[in-house]
A and B are shown apart, each in its own frame.
Chain A
Amino acid sequence: MRLAVIGAGAVGSSVVELAADYGHSVTAFADSGSAVVDAAGIDTDAALERKRTDGAVGSVDPSEALSADYDALVEATPTTLGDAQPGFGHVEAALERDRHVVLANKGPVAERYADIRELERESAGRVLFEATVGGAMPVLSTIADFDPRHISAVRGVLNGTANFILSRMATEGLDYEHVLAEAQDLGVAEADPTFDVDGTDAALKGVIVANVLADDGTEYTLTDADVEGIQEITGSALELAREDGRTVRLVAEVVEGSVRVGPRLVPENAPLAVSGTRNIAQLETEHAGQLNISGRGAGGPETASAVLADVGRLE
Chain B
Amino acid sequence: MSDSTDEVQSYTVRLELVDEPGELLRALEPIADNGGNLLSIFHERGNVTPRGHIPVEVDLEATPERFGGIVDALRDAGINVIQAGAEQYSEALTVVLTGHLVNTDLSDTLSRIHESSDATVTDLSLSAPAGTTDESSARIRLATEEGAVDRTMSAVRTVADEKDLRVIEPLAAGGDR
Q: Are B137 and A237 in contact (CB under 8 A)?
A: yes
Is B174 engaged at the interface, CB distance under 8 Å to the other chain? Answer: yes
CB < 8 Å neighbour of A155 from B94, B127, B170, B175 = B175
CB neighbours of B125 from chain A (8 A): 240, 243-244
Q: Is B177 an interface residue (CB 8 A)?
A: yes
Query: Chain B's interface: helix, strand, loop or mixed, by majority?
Result: strand
What is the distance, in angstroms, from A105's C-beta to the closest C-beta of chain B?
Answer: 29
Shortest Cβ distance from residue A10 to the other chain B in the assembled complex, whole angstroms:
31
Do B139 and A241 touch across chains, with their CB atoms under 8 A apart? yes
Also in contact, A272 and B169, with CB within 8 A (given A236-B136, A236-B137, A243-B125): no
- Given A236-B129, A236-B136, A243-B125, verify A290-B169 contact (CB < 8 Å): no
Residues of B within 8 Å of A, CB-based: how many?
Answer: 24
Q: Which chain B residues lie closer than 8 Å to A248 at the CB level?
A: 96, 168
* Residue of A153, A235, A244 touching B174 (CB-CB under 8 A): A153
Cross-chain contact of B176 among A233, A244, A255, A270 (Cβ < 8 A): A270
Interface residues of B in 114-162 (CB under 8 A from A): 125, 127-129, 135-139, 141
- Does A224 belong to the interface (CB within 8 Å)? no
Collect the chain A residues with CB atoms within 8 Å of residue B170's CB. Answer: 246, 264-266
Complex Cα–Cα for A244 and B141 (A): 10
Q: In the complex, what distance in Å separates the CA atom of A239 from the CA atom of B169?
A: 15
Question: Which residue of the partner chain B has the closest CB to A282?
Answer: B175
**B171 contacts A155, C-beta separation under 8 Å:** yes
Mask for A292-311, Cβ within 8 A of B = 1, else 0?
A: 00000000000000000000
The answer to whether B171 and A234 touch across the interface, beta carbons within 8 angstroms, is no
Whether the Cβ atoms of B168 and A243 lie closer than 8 Å is: no
Q: Which of B94, B168, B171, B176 contacts A237 (CB 8 A)?
A: B168
A265 CA / B168 CA spacing, docked (Å)? 6
Tell me whether A120 is interfacial, beta carbon within 8 Å.
no
Count of inter-chain pairs, beta carbons less than 8 A: 79
Q: Determine whether A190 belongs to the interface, using a CB cutoff of 8 Å to chain B.
A: no
The CA-CA distance from A246 to B139 in the complex, in Å, is 11
Taking a contact as CB atoms under 8 Å apart, the answer to whether A234 and B175 are in contact is no
Name the CB-closest residue of B to A289: B177
Question: Is the Cβ of A264 less than 8 Å from the Cβ of B139?
Answer: no
Q: Are A239 and B175 in contact (CB under 8 A)?
A: no
For residue A199, CB closer than 8 A to chain B, the reply is: no
Q: Are A270 and B169 in contact (CB under 8 A)?
A: no
Given contacts A236-B127, A267-B176, contact A243 B171 (CB under 8 A): no
In the bound assembly, the distance between CA atoms of A232 and B166 in angstroms comes to: 8
B98 within 8 A of A: yes
- Which residues does chain A contribute within 8 Å of B81, judged by CB atoms? none
By the criterion CB–CB under 8 Å, are B171 and A253 in contact? yes
Which residues from B are CB-within-8-Å of A206?
A: none
Is A96 among interface residues, defined by CB-CB distance under 8 A?
no
CB–CB B138/A240 < 8 A: yes
Q: A246-B170, A266-B176 are in contact. List 20 more A-B contacts (CB 8 A).
A: A155-B174, A155-B175, A234-B98, A236-B128, A236-B136, A239-B127, A240-B127, A240-B137, A243-B125, A248-B168, A255-B172, A264-B169, A265-B96, A266-B171, A267-B176, A270-B176, A272-B171, A272-B175, A282-B175, A290-B177
17 A-B residue pairings within 8 Å (CB atoms):
A155-B171, A233-B168, A234-B135, A236-B127, A237-B98, A240-B138, A241-B96, A244-B125, A253-B171, A262-B169, A263-B168, A264-B175, A265-B96, A265-B168, A266-B171, A267-B176, A271-B177
Binding site for B on A (CB under 8 A): 153, 155, 232-237, 239-241, 243-244, 246, 248, 251, 253, 255, 262-267, 270-272, 282, 284, 290
The 6 closest A-B pairs by CB, nearest first: A240-B139, A236-B127, A237-B137, A236-B137, A265-B170, A237-B98
